[in-house]
Every structure is written in C-alpha cells, then in structure tokens.
Amino acid sequence: MIAQVIAYGIVVGALYGLVAIGLALLFGVARYLNITHGSFMMMGGYVSFWLFTLWHVDPFASVPLVMLVMFLIGLILYKTLFSPLSKLPEGLKINNSMLITFGLLWVLDNAGILLWTSDMRRVTPSYFGAMFEIFDVRLPFIGLGVIGLALLVVFALHLLLTKTYFGKSVRATTQDWEAAKLMGINIDRTYLVTCGIGVALAGVAGTAIALMYSITPGGGLEWLLIALIVLVLAGLGNIKGILIAGVMLGLVEAVSVYVVGAPYRAAVGLAIIVLVLMFRPQGLFTRRTRGA
Amino acid sequence: MLEISKIDVYYGDLQALWDVSLTIEDGEIVALVGSNGAGKSTTVKTISGLLKPRSGSISYNGIRLDKLPAHKMVELGICMVPEGRRLFPEMSVLENLEVGAFVSQARKAKDETISRVYHIFPVLKDRASQAAGTLSGGEQQMLAIGRALMSQPKLLLLDEMSLGLAPLLVRSLSQVIRQINKSGVTLLLVEQNVHMTLELADRGYIMENGRIVDQGDAGVLLGSEQVKHAYLGIM
C-alpha cells in the first residue's frame, strides 16, 4: 500500500515540477514573477483540449504545437507588459511584475469564461484510465507519460542552457546582467526569449493538467500556488532543483493524504512553505551565498 | 579613433562629469588617472554605453556612440573590462571566454582567439573547467582581460585593472598590456595607480572632481610637479 502511495506521489510530483519550471526560469533569469503563470497553464490546456476535440490530435503529440502557441503569447506578454519594467531595480521589478500580472490574471480568466464557458474540460484519449502494473503497484499510463514529459523538459532545458550560445548568454545575464551587456549581449532580447520559453513551459504543464486532472478558466490559481510552493522549496531562482522539489512536494502530499486524510492536502503544502521560509529561506537546494 | 566632446553625465539629479573631453588615437595607450571618486569610472561607463551623457557627444570613427545601447559597442569593436572584474562566477573559465565571443564576428573566430588568450595567460588553460568564482584575484583579472579579448576589440577599456593585486602581478599584467597593444589594440587605462599607468601610457589625462584638470604626454605628466605632489607623494 505504501509503495502505491509513493508511486502516486512521484507521478503527481513530476507534474508539480513541470508546473513550476517555467515560473522558476523566468524569475531566475529576469526577476519577473508571473502571477498569470497558472492562467497560461489553463490556456495551454485549452489549446491541447481543442486540438484533441476538433482534430483528434493526441495530447502528448500536441505538446510542440501548444509550446509554439504559448511561446508567441509569452513574447507578446514581454513586449507589452514586462519590457517597460526592464530598467527598474530588482526589487521594484519583482513587485511591479507581480502587480501587473495579477491584474492580467483577472482579465485572462474572465476572458476565458467568455470564450470557453466555465465548464470543466479534460482530455480523454483512448488510453485514459489504462493502468500499468508492477509488483502490486498500479500506475496510470498517463502518469508515466507525464513523468517522461517532465524529465524530457528538464533535460532539454539543461541542454539549452549549457550547450547553446543562447543558453550561455541566458546564464551570463542571470549572473551579472551588466557584465553581460558589456560582452555584447542584448539582454532585452534574452529576457524576451526567456519569457517566451517560460510561458511555453506553462503550456506543457497545462497539457499535462488537462490529462491528469481538468481545466477551467479560473483553475490556474490553484496551480500557481503549487508552482510558488515548489519555487520556494527549490530556492528562488534555482532551476536545477525544481523537479526534485516538485517530487518532494508530491511525495509529502501523498503520504499526508494516506496518514491524515485528503482534506488536509493543501494545508500540508502551505505548512511546508512556512517551515522552509522559517528555517531555510534560501530554499533546500540553493547555497546561501553565491560566488564572488 | 574615439572622440569625447564636452560631455556632462548625471546619476539621477547628481552631476558626476562636467564638460569632459578626451580623444584616443588609433594604436595609442591612453591613461585616465585620478583619485577615487574623480569620475574616471563614470567616464568609461559612458563610453561603453552603460551611462548616457546628458549633453555633449561621443563619436567613434565617425559613428555617434552616445545614442547606442551598450551591447552595440562590442559589435563596433569597443570592449570594457569593468572594475571588480565582474566575471560570471558560476560559469567555467572556458564558458566565460565563450560568452566573451558572443557577437557574431567574434564567434566565428572563437577557437582561434581562445588559443591566443591561452597563449597570453597559460594559467587559464589549466583552469578551463573550473568555476570562475573559485579563481584567485589575479587569475580573475586575467580571465576578465581574456574574456574582453575574445570579442576581438579594436579599443579596450580597462577599469582599475591593478586594484587589489600584488605589485609583482601588476608588473606582469603591464607586460601583457604592452603585448596586447603591439598586436594592434588601442587601450584606455583607467587607474588610481598613477605611476604604473603613466609609465605604460603614451598620453594621459588627469581627472579631479568630475573634470579633466590636466593632460599631455605621459612622460611629461609623470615629471610634472602637480602629479608628483598630488598622487605620488613626492615633495
């Protein structure tokens, strides 16, 4: 039984990592805290939902197209709302990006209700509900697919950041944006593309949510909260620890549901945030002081 | 090559530079010296585009620089080694060099330039895979210069290169600077270390309180009573 609980926790945790990674990327690189991240997850979920409903596109196969659509939306977000903040000092940039995207959240969520009604939607392909059984542990195929998707995303992001010139310029900008400018890096462009990628990753998470749970226009807020918990767990700005932090949260939640009951699931997540902020505010996987 | 003409620069409402004019000719080593807070760093930051002058102009081979964003300067062949090195501490030595060759012309010649930089600073080759933040102060300065050379600059601006380094190391860096200059790079040295810099330079400018107060042949400045008095502590 406990093995089943742990297996479930890992599946959900992989999704949690996926939910947080785009938010962590944009915050870590450009210091924009995107409160609409959850709404963009829903939007990505809708793209996948309509592709499936109208043209029977398999949800996993729809991921590249969802990413492309959401990437473009991310570029528009940066050009219209974030780039005016780019000259502000770090603290003001975080605060103002939070306020602006908080406003945008209401606009998007209500526009979503007008466009798609507030009905709950989910993507149910033929293998929906199919199980895979090993040593008495039953795992849904979709859950395995989501773990694969999360690993793929983390691996691809790692390759992008360490092997490509663009990725190196992103890391350089993160570590010292002024020095990055002096090396000829157009940091505004770096932020723009990073914002596109962050929102595209929200779309990936949304596709997984539409498969494992369901989507509604206002449903993003709950997922934003999970993304923020994972972000704090990993340490703000730490991209490497996100998937592990997500899986940890998933495991703790699953075990707590088993021990104290499902109604306390959300409370456990919030309790973890409080504990981490009290005893390890830099996050579990971040050193307190960064290099010289 | 570079002509700064009567620039006034402000930090917010605070004026930091008054009517600063300075020229650099092709192939020269020019020194900009003065005490802490005289406005030297403000001047190079304005050349490299991190600060914008409120009045006056900066032109480089006929191109107006003072309206361009900082990252464009590198494409034009102007690169700055900032005060305090400002390396990317969590990236490896090699990655720092690679980022130095970010602009497209430099990127094409990247491998060649890296071996040239390794030839000038062999220690960087030994440390290639080490994180830049773990290098010693001297090695960090070498990497900062190496990183700037990666962009294949025609004009290199060095801000407080000798700060916090042992005298022996400063002397060997001076040799390196001569060598870089001989390879065809024009240099502006911004320093508090007046003696070392004026010995190295062809011409010099002296700054005080945000203004240029004296200028001329480096040897002449080094011998002048005012410089001896104010900066070298010789009566």
Whichever domain contains A275, its CATH number is: 1.10.3470
Domain membership of residue A292 (yes or no) is: no
Q: Nearest CA of chain B to the CA of A130: how many Å?
A: 45
Percent of chain A with pLDDT strictly greater than 90? 69
pLDDT above 80: residue B231? no
Domain membership of residue A290 (yes or no) is: no
Domain membership of residue A73 (yes or no) is: yes
Q: Which residues of B touch A165 (CB under 8 A)?
A: 98, 102, 107
Establish if B3 touches chain A: CB-CB under 8 angstroms.
no
pLDDT above 90: residue B44? yes
Q: Name the residue range of residue B205's domain.
A: 26-49+77-231
Domain membership of residue B193 (yes or no) is: yes
Cα–Cα nearest to A194, from A213, A211, A174, A209: A174
Query: Encoding tokens for residue A130?
Result: 């199919």
Residue with the two structure tokens 């130095």: B100
Domain membership of residue A285 (yes or no) is: no
Segment among A140-154, A203-217, A264-278, B152-166 with least mean pLDDT? A264-278
pLDDT above 60: residue A288? no
Domain membership of residue B9 (yes or no) is: no
pLDDT band of B234, cuts 50, 70, 90: low
Domain membership of residue A210 (yes or no) is: yes
- Per-residue model confidence (pLDDT) at position A2: 83
Domain membership of residue A36 (yes or no) is: yes
Domain membership of residue B19 (yes or no) is: no
Give the Cα separation of A90 and A94 in Å (integer).
6
- Per-residue model confidence (pLDDT) at position A281: 81
Domain membership of residue A267 (yes or no) is: yes
Give the Cα separation of A171 and A241 in Å (integer).
16
pLDDT above 80: residue B22? yes
pLDDT band of B51, cuts 50, 70, 90: very high
Q: Which tops the pLDDT comparison, A197 or A274?
A: A197
Domain membership of residue B131 (yes or no) is: yes
Domain membership of residue B202 (yes or no) is: yes
ipTM of predicted assembly, 2 dp: 0.92
pLDDT above 50: residue A290? no
Query: Encoding tokens for residue A257?
Result: 């549901």
Give the mean pLDDT of chain B.
93
Q: Which residues of B touch A292 (CB under 8 A)?
A: 87, 89, 133, 140
Count of domains forming chain B: 1
Segment among B18-22, B88-92, B230-234 with least mean pLDDT? B230-234
Give the Cα separation of B180 and B12 in Å (integer).
37
Domain membership of residue A289 (yes or no) is: no
Count of domains forming chain A: 1
CB contact under 8 A, B89 and A290: yes
Domain membership of residue B16 (yes or no) is: no
Domain membership of residue B67 (yes or no) is: no
Domain membership of residue B222 (yes or no) is: yes
CATH assignment of the domain containing B156: 3.40.50.300
| CB atoms near residue A5 (< 10 Å) | 17
Q: Which helix (H) or strand (E) holds A258?
A: helix A242-260
Q: Which residues of B touch A87 (CB under 8 A)?
A: none
